[in-house]
């Protein structure tokens, strides 16, 4: 499999990829992040400024990177909690009702009076091109104080993204680690992270473009990932789309392929991978390699259906793994 690294680097053996959770409640996952409602209009083309086009088709989906990851984790690990900010509007109420029906614990979701729930307005043209505008709303109202009020010791893994305030994410990472909880971060939308936050990240899951944005001065994503490890990150899992992923840690580099499927909708595939990775680390607490393979299978299966929240249950993922070969 082509992975964008040198042959010499590919030959370097990786040591045992340990991924045992440090949390006191093995098998319980907390996702801290965004909840957005995606409003999608498909038209023949994207309208020009000031232009109105008729004939579009409208769909509404549940989204937000945090919520996508919580949904995916919950398909594999039933003890999954969501912490987010929503408004006291109908969108927020409907989203919470939906998550409760999906058996995702929403007791830690904050409801902000007078705020609106996050919304993404998406225009999709006939050739697949899109234009997206996001109004984050209550997502940006989660504060460091909210993180300090959480009892992270009740969870084995805490999962974060960057669709909430950066200072809130950093405080959450620190509080989680101090409580003995393993941490997972998807650094998207990509931005520079404070250097003192890196040692609090056990698993960071960027794509090959995001990892370069995290580390200035690098052109090779493998070397950028290695530099993150030098700065204190435990494991860097670089997702490479149809080329699989690469794990970089103190033991070296190791690449993993993907399952050969016909994609229908790749939106949310990365979120599915990350949420499933956290669940996989609960299922295989001593084996990051098996967790990565499970996450790869879950994401591969998810893209065969429409919607960012299309992850399948554990039994279906395992059946898929037994019937397919990884490339």
**Domains of the chain, start order:** 8-35+63-117+138-323 (3.40.1190.20)
Q: In this predicted structure, what is the pLDDT of residue 8?
A: 38
Residue 37, beta-bridge partner list: 62, 119
Strands (E), 110-196: 110-112, 118-124, 130-135, 157-160, 182-185
Q: In this predicted structure, what is the pLDDT of residue 92?
A: 97
- C-alpha 27/C-alpha 40 separation (Å) is 35
Using alpha carbons, select from 88, 96, 92, 91 the residue that is nearest to residue 70.
Answer: 96
**Residues in CB range of 59: below 8 A, 6 or more apart:** 40, 42
| Phi, then psi, of 122 in degrees rounded to 5 | -120, 125
**Residues in CB range of 105: below 8 A, 6 or more apart:** 79, 80, 81, 82
Could you list the active site residues? 271
- C-alpha 117/C-alpha 87 separation (Å) is 4
| Phi, then psi, of 299 in degrees rounded to 5 | -70, -40
Q: With a threshold of 0.85, does the pTM exceed it?
A: yes
- C-alpha 271/C-alpha 268 separation (Å) is 5
- C-alpha 93/C-alpha 117 separation (Å) is 9
Grouping H, G, I as helix, E, B as strand and the rest as coil, residue 42 is strand
- C-alpha 56/C-alpha 41 separation (Å) is 6
On the CB side of 287, CA atoms within 13 Å amount to 8
Strands (E), the chain: 29-32, 36-42, 57-63, 80-83, 85-87, 110-112, 118-124, 130-135, 157-160, 182-185, 203-204, 235-239, 245-249, 252-256
Mean pLDDT by 10-residue block, N- to C-terminus, for the chain (327 residues)?
Answer: 38 40 65 94 90 91 95 95 97 97 97 96 82 92 98 97 97 98 95 95 96 90 96 96 92 92 80 96 92 94 80 90 79
- C-alpha 205/C-alpha 240 separation (Å) is 11
């Amino acid at each position: 499999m082509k992975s964008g690294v040198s042959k010499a680097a590919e030959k370097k053996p990786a040591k045992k990829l340990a991924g045992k959770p440090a949390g006191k409640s093995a098998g319980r996952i907390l996702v801290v992040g965004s909840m957005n409602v995606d409003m999608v209009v498909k038209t023949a083309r994207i309208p020009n400024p000031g232009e109105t086009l008729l004939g579009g088709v409208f769909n509404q989906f549940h989204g937000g990177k945090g919520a996508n990851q919580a949904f995916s984790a919950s398909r594999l690990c039933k003890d999954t909690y969501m912490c987010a900010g929503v408004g006291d509007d109908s969108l927020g109420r409907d989203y919470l009702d939906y998550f409760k029906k999906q058996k995702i614990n929403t007791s830690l979701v904050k409801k902000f009076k007078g705020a609106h729930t996050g919304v993404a307005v998406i225009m999709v043209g006939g050739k697949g091109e899109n234009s997206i505008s996001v109004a984050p709303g209550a997502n940006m109202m989660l504060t460091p104080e909210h993180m300090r009020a959480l009892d992270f010791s009740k969870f084995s893994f805490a999962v974060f993204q960057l669709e909430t305030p950066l200072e809130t994410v950093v405080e959450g990472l620190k509080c989680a680690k101090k409580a003995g909880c393993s941490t997972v971060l998807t650094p998207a939308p990509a931005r520079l992270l404070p250097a003192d936050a890196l040692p609090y990240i056990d698993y960071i899951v960027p794509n090959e473009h995001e990892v370069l944005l995290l580390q200035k001065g690098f052109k090779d994503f493998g070397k950028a990932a290695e530099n993150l490890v030098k700065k204190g990150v435990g494991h860097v899992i670089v997702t490479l789309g149809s080329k699989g992923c690469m794990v970089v840690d103190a033991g070296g580099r190791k690449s993993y392929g993907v399952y050969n499927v016909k994609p229908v909708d790749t939106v949310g595939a990365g979120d599915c991978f990350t949420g499933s990775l956290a669940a996989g680390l609960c299922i295989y607490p001593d084996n990051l390699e098996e967790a990565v393979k499970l996450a790869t299978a879950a994401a591969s299966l998810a893209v065969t259906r429409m919607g960012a929240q299309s992850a399948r249950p554990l039994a279906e993922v395992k059946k898929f793994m037994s019937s397919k070969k990884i490339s």
